[in-house]
């Protein structure tokens, strides 16, 4: 029964997918197919999210985790893997979050995409994505996790490149897939290493064996290393790719080429958090490797501040939110790194609501502004779209972590846990997190002010057209806004508060001694209030710079032009990678082909041999001149040689 929650989206995707091909040229018929696709996917998703609520109650609230085994998948020697759904608290939290947010975005898309000629395809992709995401979070073995992982990557690729006429969209789509594959390279090696160590890739088996392998070593790359550290680091490379952490992040901002609902669903609420989920899911492995956890903390904290700095100077409304997402993912990672897994998941959940809200709100703005995304050509529209404006405020307040919005509960818990970890990297993460919190508030209000306030900077035609979005778009936003308002308050006790142990059951392991989260409740008062203070300061600064002294940003940009350019160009990562990997790969490919295959292998091998044979034959042919005296002369030489040879050998 509950498995329907997972497979209904697949069904919806298949139905809508079929409708893509039956539309034909007839306008009216197409419109009917469009509606059928919208209804079937939205219906399937609604049903799935209702089932997910029951599932959540059954498994997480009543504490009855279980596993549904479907059928054998891969079976080869010791490697035995089934298609199976592992439904424990961690999984059902994700299932509920994914289905609810996805359903809202499905409905929103009805309004947002209503001009688009490819509605069934879009709806089909959204549902297919949801299915893969659900397979990912309910996986009971690493290979199925990888199945969902690659599946969401695929649909992400398809949706970033949804408008396939645009070269930029196509390029971004490929970039997303390839960069993620770089991460998957680590993920796959990690899975292999797990198999070598445990002779199994089933989660339950490896979790129960992990304690016994705490000190085991593994032979890799010519050395012997602590096995669980190797595994943890390799798997984390995969997580970095999917969750756009520093180094493997370059695809996420470009991914904003996709339609806005996609950015909200995939590149904010769900897929990009898969890395967080994976690490939390594998807490029984990561717990045994201090090194891996340290690396995760440092990478997360660095990403949090790195992305926030870039977010402050971007002008594309969606890119600002994209960098904000990266930054928030960084927070989640350093929470995991200090063993506050449940705090990370808590923030994942609240973030899904308020970030989806922000993206969809931005989408509503873009919709109102006739597809304009550049904030420098917005402004002065808050009275014209008041509902969107209010909703953006709610999303931003939640993002900035202002009491009593959702972000306040989850983000503060993370910062407190980092502080309470008491370690060097914990301290680093705390201070980076505080600084990033300041920047977060700053760029959020920079966005609000640039978008909604001041003098209108769009042309008259656009301004005349500004309108509030239809109900089908606004209602989902209101549901998400409710989440951004209350999810933190409601979830706090269960996720990280007094009911946490009961709520999570066995789905997350934290070893004794890793008690950052417990200590987080008893940190000094200034730690508790500092995030609020810096957030307030950030908001105030944004008001000063963009509302009260609008000349200030330009003056700053010109007096610190090097810094500004560095940030505007996103720390030059794209240029660096282009120089290091992309160009050399094509250069090598071309040369190996022309020189390696062409000149050397073929030149020396078959062609060379053929040419040599031909050459020899030609020379032989040349000897046949047809003149009698040539032949006579040759014969004479022959006779002389034979005689000479005979004489010499006889003499010798």
Partner 1 sequence: MSQFSILSLIIFLPLAGAGFILLGNRGDEEVAARDARNVALWTSGITFILSLFLWYNFNTETAEFQFVEKAEWMPGLNISYHLGVDGISMLFVLLTTLLTPICVLASWRSITTHVKEYMIAFLIMETMMVGMFSALDLVVFYIFFEGVLIPMFLIIGVWGGGRRVYAAFKFFLYTLAGSVLMLLAILAMYFEAGTTDIPTLMAYNFPPDMQRWLWLAFFASFAVKVPMWPVHTWLPDAHVEAPTAGSVILAGVLLKFGGYGFLRFSLPMFASATVEFTPLIFTLSVIAVIYTSLVALAQEDMKKMIAYSSVAHMGFVTIGVFTLNIQGIEGAIYLMLSHGVVSAALFLIVGVVYDRTHSREISTYGGLVHRMPVYALAFMLFMLASVGLPGTGGFVGEFLVLVGIFQINTWVAALATTGIILGVTYMLYMYRRVIFGKLTKESLMKIADLEKREIVVFAPLVILVLWMGIYPSSFLDVMHVSVANLIEQFQTALAASENLALAGQ
Binding of residue 629 to partner 1 (CB under 8 A)? no
Residue 50: alpha-carbon gap to chain centroid? 27
Cβ-based nearer residue to partner 1, 150 or 468: 150
50, 52, 53, 59 alpha-carbon torsion, rounded to 10°: 150
CB of 61 to partner 1, least distance (A): 33
Among 189, 269, 282, 292, binds partner 1 (CB under 8 A): 189
Among 108, 112, 146, 438, binds partner 1 (CB under 8 A): 146
Cβ-based nearer residue to partner 1, 524 or 589: 589
Q: How far apart are CA 454 and CA 443, in angstroms?
A: 16
Q: How far apart are CA 246 and CA 323, in angstroms?
A: 11
**What secondary structure does DSSP assign to 599-620, as a single string?**
IIIIHHTHHHHHHHHHHHHHHH
Among 74, 544, 549, 611, binds partner 1 (CB under 8 A): 74
The CA–CA distances, whole Å, from 81 to 14, 73, 142, 278 equal 26, 6, 9, 18
Q: How far apart are CA 120 and CA 33, in angstroms?
A: 7
CB of 283 to partner 1, least distance (A): 24
Q: Which of residues 161-180 bind partner 1 (CB under 8 A)?
A: 161, 164-165, 167, 170, 173-174, 177-178
Q: How far apart are CA 278 and CA 597, in angstroms?
A: 43
The answer to whether 150 touches 278, Cβ cutoff 8 Å, is no
Residue whose structure tokens are 């160590």: 197
Q: Of the candidates 332, 537, 371, which has an alpha carbon nearest to the alpha carbon of residue 466?
A: 371
| Stretch touching partner 1 by CB under 8 A, among 276-284, 289-297, 424-432, 582-590 | 582-590
Cβ-based nearer residue to partner 1, 176 or 312: 176
Binding of residue 554 to partner 1 (CB under 8 A)? no
Q: Of the candidates 15, 14, 148, 153, which has an alpha carbon nearest to the alpha carbon of residue 94?
A: 148
CB of 605 to partner 1, least distance (A): 7
The CA–CA distances, whole Å, from 167 to 156, 171, 174, 262 equal 17, 6, 11, 18
CB neighbours of residue 614 within 10 Å = 10
Binding of residue 21 to partner 1 (CB under 8 A)? yes
Q: Of the candidates 306, 375, 290, 297, which has an alpha carbon nearest to the alpha carbon of residue 336?
A: 297
Cβ-based nearer residue to partner 1, 183 or 426: 183
Cβ-based nearer residue to partner 1, 73 or 393: 73
Q: How many chain residues interact with partner 1 (CB under 8 A)?
A: 56
CB of 145 to partner 1, least distance (A): 10
CB of 242 to partner 1, least distance (A): 14
CB neighbours of residue 539 within 10 Å = 21
Binding of residue 468 to partner 1 (CB under 8 A)? no
Binding of residue 188 to partner 1 (CB under 8 A)? yes
H or E segment to which residue 254 belongs: helix 251-254
Binding of residue 605 to partner 1 (CB under 8 A)? yes
| Stretch touching partner 1 by CB under 8 A, among 101-109, 141-149, 245-253, 633-641 | 141-149
The CA–CA distances, whole Å, from 390 to 365, 387, 485 equal 12, 5, 13
Among 7, 73, 431, 577, binds partner 1 (CB under 8 A): 73
Positions that interact with partner 1 (CB under 8 A): 20-21, 71-79, 83, 143, 146-147, 150-151, 154, 157, 161, 164-165, 167, 170, 173-174, 177-178, 181-182, 184-185, 188-189, 191-193, 195-196, 219-222, 585-586, 588-590, 592-593, 596-597, 601-602, 605-606
């Amino acid at each position: 029964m509950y498995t329907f929650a997972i497979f209904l989206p697949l069904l919806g995707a298949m139905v809508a997918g079929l409708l893509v091909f039956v539309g034909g040229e007839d306008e009216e018929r197409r419109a009917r197919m469009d509606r059928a696709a919208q209804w079937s996917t939205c219906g399937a998703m609604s049903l799935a999210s209702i089932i997910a609520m029951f599932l959540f109650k059954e498994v997480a609230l009543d504490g009855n985790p279980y596993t549904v085994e479907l059928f054998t998948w891969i079976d080869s020697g010791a490697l035995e893997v089934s298609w199976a759904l592992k439904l424990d608290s961690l999984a059902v939290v994700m299932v509920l979050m994914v289905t609810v947010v996805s359903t809202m975005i499905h409905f929103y898309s009805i309004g947002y995409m209503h001009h688009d000629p490819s509605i069934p395809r879009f709806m089909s992709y959204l549902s297919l994505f949801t299915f893969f995401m659900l397979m990912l979070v309910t996986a009971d073995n690493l290979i199925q996790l990888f199945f969902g992982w690659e599946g969401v990557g695929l649909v992400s690729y398809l949706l970033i490149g949804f408008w396939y006429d645009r070269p930029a969209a196509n390029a971004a789509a490929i970039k997303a897939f390839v960069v993620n594959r770089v991460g998957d390279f680590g993920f796959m090696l990690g899975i292999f290493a797990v198999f070598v160590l445990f002779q199994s890739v089933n989660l339950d088996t490896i979790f129960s064996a992990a304690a016994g392998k705490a000190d085991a070593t593994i032979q890799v790359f010519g050395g012997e290393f602590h096995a669980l550290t190797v595994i943890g680091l390799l798997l984390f490379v995969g997580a970095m790719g999917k969750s756009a952490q520093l180094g493997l992040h370059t695809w996420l901002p470009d991914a904003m080429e996709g339609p806005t609902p996609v950015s909200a669903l995939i590149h904010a609420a769900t897929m990009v958090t898969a890395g967080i989920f994976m690490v939390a899911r594998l807490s029984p492995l990561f717990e045994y490797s201090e090194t891996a956890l340290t690396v995760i903390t440092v990478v997360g904290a660095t990403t949090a501040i790195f992305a926030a700095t870039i977010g402050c100077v971007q002008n594309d409304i969606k890119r600002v939110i994209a960098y904000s997402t990266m930054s928030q993912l960084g927070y989640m990672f350093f929470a995991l790194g200090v063993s506050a897994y449940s705090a990370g998941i808590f923030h994942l959940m609240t973030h899904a609501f308020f970030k989806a809200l922000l993206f969809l709100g931005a989408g509503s703005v873009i919709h109102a502004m006739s597809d304009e995304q550049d904030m420098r050509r917005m402004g002065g529209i808050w009275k014209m779209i008041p509902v969107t404006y209010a909703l953006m405020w709610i999303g931003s307040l939640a993002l900035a972590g202002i009491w009593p919005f959702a972000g306040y509960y989850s983000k503060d818990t993370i910062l407190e846990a980092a502080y309470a970890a008491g370690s060097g990297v914990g301290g680093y993460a705390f201070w980076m997190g505080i600084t990033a919190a300041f920047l977060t508030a700053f760029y959020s209000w920079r966005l609000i002010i640039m978008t909604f306030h001041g003098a209108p900077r769009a042309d008259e035609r656009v301004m005349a057209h500004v309108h509030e979005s239809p109900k089908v778009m606004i209602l989902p936003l209101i549901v998400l806004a409710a989440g951004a308002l209350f999810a933190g308050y409601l979830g706090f006790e269960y996720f990280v508060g007094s009911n946490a142990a009961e709520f999570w059951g066995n789905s997350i392991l934290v070893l004794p001694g890793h008690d950052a989260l417990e200590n987080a409740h008893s940190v000094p008062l200034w730690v508790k209030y500092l995030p609020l203070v810096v957030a307030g300061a950030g908001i105030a600064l944004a008001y000063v710079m963009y509302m009260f002294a609008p000349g200030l940003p330009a003056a700053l940009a010109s007096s610190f032009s090097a810094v500004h350019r560095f940030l505007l160009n996103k720390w030059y990562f794209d240029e660096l990678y282009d120089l290091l990997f992309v160009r050399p790969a094509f250069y090598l490919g071309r040369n190996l082909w022309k020189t390696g295959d062409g000149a050397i292998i073929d030149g020396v091998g078959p062609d060379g041999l053929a040419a040599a044979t031909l050459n020899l034959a030609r020379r032989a042919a040349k000897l046949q001149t047809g003149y009698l005296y040539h032949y006579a002369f040759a014969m004479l030489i022959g006779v002389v040689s034979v005689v000479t040879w005979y004489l010499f050998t006889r003499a010798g």
